[in-house]
Amino acid sequence: MSSSSGFALFDPALFKPALVQAFVKLDPRVQWRNPVMLVVYVGSLFTTLLGVHAWHGHGEAAPWFIFSVALWLWFTVLFANFAEALAEGRSQAQAASLRGIQKAGWAKKLQQPRHGSPWLPEEAGLLRRGDVVLVEAGDMVPLDGEVIEGVASVDESAITGESAPVIRESGGDFSAVTGGTRVLSDWLVVRIGVNPGESFIDRMIRMVEGAQRQKTPNEIALNILLAALTIVFLVVTVTLLPYSLFSVQAAQSGHPVTLTALVALLVCLIPTTIGGLLSAIGVAGMSRLMQANVIATSGRAVEAAGDVDVLMLDKTGTITHGNRQATQLRPAPGQTELALAQVAWLASQADETPEGRSIVALAAQALSAQACAALGASLAQAVAVPFSAQTRMSGVDLPGSGAQRPARLLRKGALEAVRRHVEALGSTLPTEVQRAAEDIARRGSTPLVVADGAQVVGVVELKDIVKTGIQERFSALRRMGIKTVMITGDNPLTAASIAAEAGVDDFLAEATPEAKLALIRQYQQEGRLVAMTGDGTNDAPALAQADVAVAMNTGTQAAKEAANMVDLDSNPTKLLEVVETGKALLMTRGALTTFSIANDVAKFFAIIPAIFVLTYPPLEALNIMRLASPQSAILSAVIFNALVIVFLIPLALQGVRYRAIGAAALLRRNLLIYGLGGLAVPFVGIKLIDLILVALGLA
């Protein structure tokens, strides 16, 4: 599902079903949900009845006129239905392409949660959260889950559209696998994380199909405003009738206003343009995001994205590729590379993270196969000390032997963490080691200091690469007024170097998951809207707190669940598109509301003289458009009112283009275009339709 699978705006394939849907949506239960269009709907029914009545000879006006008005009122409803159906059709086509992603029919369910245990075939649909399955080369991952054993290359192209295979492995931030992806080599033991029907793809489908699309607070507020305007105009129009009857009676001359004309006036004055296009705008926003390969699970988050002030990003795996590899061993003074390799090898044996595994691989190059075997034997009764974001260290405790009691503590970890550790044991960190670590950090690599008990044996360099082409995109975010802050558990020097290379505005180093969360809360308390982009399990609390939370598709299940959007391309700067879509959504609504209300001026000048000229001949002075006849004036206004919906469908679906020119300038620009445009366009449009009606001999 790459961006190339986007659906053209007016794809003829989507056209016909949308036309059919436009009629299906005439169902009163559908119309009931939109107060503005409900009034038009009732008006269409009412004028149709008036037409039938006139047909039988006791009408208030010529039957052809009443039927023409009724017909165009029906068109107004149908055009609005069509706009909504077209937007939904695009999403459904996207959902269909997701549904086309193949699903595994059955899985190899393991009897025990480890590799080598016997397995039985099980229908994929019968798997449950917590089940453990074996996925071997050529097999499809049956459901979303977490790798608990093994390393394998996985083809995720069905979901990401990215053809290069990715590595999935237990431990660390690359352990999540998605149902529907295929293992290409080796094997994985996967613990299933969801029940059938709740997987990532299932949720994506439900989201894009709109089944779960709820109205956002902004949309509800606008709906209330539109409903209030509708009621005001309804009251105004209804009171015109007794007023007209009374005037005619008092003057003993003229004709009272017709009901058909009053309905026409009402429909022209209520905000049908925005009312008819509102839901299409919302649905289209979601599908635009989807074309950018971002799956949003909350419409509210898409809107919030339009107003984001701060973007927080985690470093490893988000700004960098996150596949930190050990590249260099730097022994401490008085230590040999061999000694460092031995301790690093031992301290990383139980470390399942990519960092740990790559240290084992590098150390093994410095050691002989026999040495490794001997070292392995010494681990027989060792106790693993796993890495945690709090301690920033990992390692093993070897049982003490003879004089050496208590146990031998082998550790590797962040510079400050190991410094505290050896100082607590009564030793110090050599300045040479400190300098070596700082050298490594200044290059943007992560130094891991290795200690054997209180003795520091050296430093390992972990290299990571900043994702390409993100600097330019961060400056684009800056031009939009969004501050970018990198938050990392890594040391300040590495953080500063990566921050400079990536071009973020600010950074916070040595941040624990709690510190990440606290920083987001602090910004929120200052009244700012915060977006967070992350991939790790330790980013999940922060993602859950952020207003807009984008998880990398390469990230862990926990991160994806805490987020309200997932970027299938795992691009940390994708927020740019998300913000643009959010802003476009808000601006499109604003623009069409302005346009819709500004239109009323011209319609007022067209209809008021037309319906009151018989009651009050001097009102002819208001007929500044010089429309041919009262009937043609009313009909022209109604036709214009209907056609404008059709002309604005492309704008509603594509959105008003966002430009980074500052909020005030943008508002002024939009008011100018859609306010003044909304004033002027209908004068021209209505006059034109009037001329055509005359030419056709209909006026």
Ligand X SMILES: Nc1ncnc2c1ncn2[C@@H]1O[C@H](COP(=O)(O)OP(=O)(O)OP(=O)(O)O)[C@@H](O)[C@H]1O
Q: Which residues bind ligand X (CB under 6 A)?
A: 314-317, 351, 353, 355-356, 387, 389, 392-394, 412-414, 446, 448, 488-490, 536, 538
Shortest CB 280 distance to K ion, Å: 16
Shortest CB 488 distance to ligand X, Å: 3
With CB cut-offs between 5 and 8 Å by kind, which of ligand X, Mg ion, K ion, none does residue 272 bind?
Answer: K ion
155 is catalytic: no
Question: Annotated binding residue at 388?
Answer: yes
Question: Annotated binding residue at 389?
Answer: yes
Shortest CB 160 distance to ligand X, Å: 21
**Segment interacting with K ion, rule: CB under 5 A, options 133-141, 288-296, 638-646, 676-684:** 638-646
Residue 462 sits at φ, ψ, to 5 deg, of -110, 115
Shortest CB 319 distance to ligand X, Å: 8
Name the residue nearer to Mg ion (CB basis): 316 or 349. Answer: 316
Name the residue nearer to K ion (CB basis): 367 or 601. Answer: 601
**Are the CB atoms for 359 and 367 separated by under 8 Å?**
no
With CB cut-offs between 5 and 8 Å by kind, which of K ion, ligand X, Mg ion, none does residue 413 bind?
Answer: ligand X
Name the residue nearer to Mg ion (CB basis): 203 or 392. Answer: 392
At CB < 8 A and 24+ separation, what contacts does 11-18 make? 11/90, 11/93, 13/93, 14/86, 14/89, 14/90, 14/93, 15/86, 17/85, 17/89, 18/82, 18/85, 18/86, 18/89
Name the residue nearer to K ion (CB basis): 272 or 615. Answer: 272
- In this structure, the number of other CB atoms found within 10 A of the CB of residue 126 comes to 11
Name the residue nearer to ligand X (CB basis): 86 or 532. Answer: 532
Question: Annotated binding residue at 351?
Answer: yes
How many residues touch K ion under the rule CB under 5 A: the total is 2
Site of tokens 């960092």: 355
Distances (CA, A) of 16 to 89, 114, 133, 508: 10, 53, 45, 54
Shortest CB 229 distance to K ion, Å: 10
* 297 scored as a contact of K ion (CB under 5 A): no
**Judged by CB under 5 A, which of 170, 230, 316, 631 binds Mg ion?**
316
Sequence-separated (6 or more) residues with CB below 8 Å from residue 83: 276, 277, 280, 645, 649, 652, 653
Distances (CA, A) of 528 to 308, 309, 310, 311, 539: 7, 6, 7, 10, 20
Name the residue nearer to ligand X (CB basis): 274 or 437. Answer: 437
Shortest CB 526 distance to ligand X, Å: 23
Residue type, 699: A
- What does the alpha-carbon distance between residue 40 and residue 263 come to, in Å, rounded to a whole number? 9
- What does the alpha-carbon distance between residue 686 and residue 624 come to, in Å, rounded to a whole number? 12
Q: Which two tokens stand for residue 185?
A: 């080599």
Question: Annotated binding residue at 640?
Answer: no
Name the residue nearer to ligand X (CB basis): 151 or 389. Answer: 389
Question: Annotated binding residue at 394?
Answer: yes
Name the residue nearer to ligand X (CB basis): 288 or 392. Answer: 392
**Are the CB atoms for 577 and 289 separated by under 8 Å?**
yes
Spot the catalytic one: 131, 173, 314, 690.
314
With CB cut-offs between 5 and 8 Å by kind, which of K ion, ligand X, Mg ion, none does residue 353 bind?
Answer: ligand X
CA 281, distance to chain mean position in Å, is: 15
- What does the alpha-carbon distance between residue 426 and residue 420 come to, in Å, rounded to a whole number? 10
Shortest CB 315 distance to Mg ion, Å: 7
Question: Annotated binding residue at 391?
Answer: yes
**Segment interacting with Mg ion, rule: CB under 5 A, options 316-324, 364-372, 394-402, 457-465:** 316-324
Q: Mask: binding to K ion, 639-658, rule CB under 5 A, as x and -?
A: --x-----------------
**Judged by CB under 5 A, which of 275, 536, 582, 609 binds Mg ion?**
536
Question: Annotated binding residue at 390?
Answer: yes
What is the widest separation between alpha-carbon atoms in the chain? 123
- Footprint on residues 234-273 left by K ion (CB under 5 A): 272
With CB cut-offs between 5 and 8 Å by kind, which of Mg ion, K ion, ligand X, none does residue 582 bind?
Answer: none
Question: Annotated binding residue at 387?
Answer: yes
- What does the alpha-carbon distance between residue 436 and residue 418 come to, in Å, rounded to a whole number? 14
> Given its phi and psi angles, is residue 410 left (phi above 0), alpha (psi -120 to 50 degrees) or beta?
beta
Question: Annotated binding residue at 480?
Answer: no
**DSSP for 511-545?**
--HHHHHHHHHHHHHTT--EEEEE-SGGGHHHHHH
Whether residue 430 is preceded by a cis peptide bond, meaning omega within 30 degrees of 0, is no
Of all residues in this chain, which one has the CB nearest to Mg ion in the complex? 536
Sequence-separated (6 or more) residues with CB below 8 Å from residue 392: 413, 414, 416, 417, 489
Question: Annotated binding residue at 631?
Answer: no
3-class secondary-structure state, position 575: helix
Site of tokens 């077209």: 86
Shortest CB 155 distance to ligand X, Å: 26
Binding stretches for K ion (CB under 5 A): 272, 641
From the annotation, which residues make up the binding site for ATP? 351, 355, 387-394, 412
From the annotation, which residues make up the binding site? 351, 355, 387-394, 412, 535, 539
Query: Where in the sequence numbering do the catalytic residues fall?
Result: 314
Binding stretches for Mg ion (CB under 5 A): 314, 316, 536
From the annotation, which residues make up the binding site for Mg(2+)? 535, 539
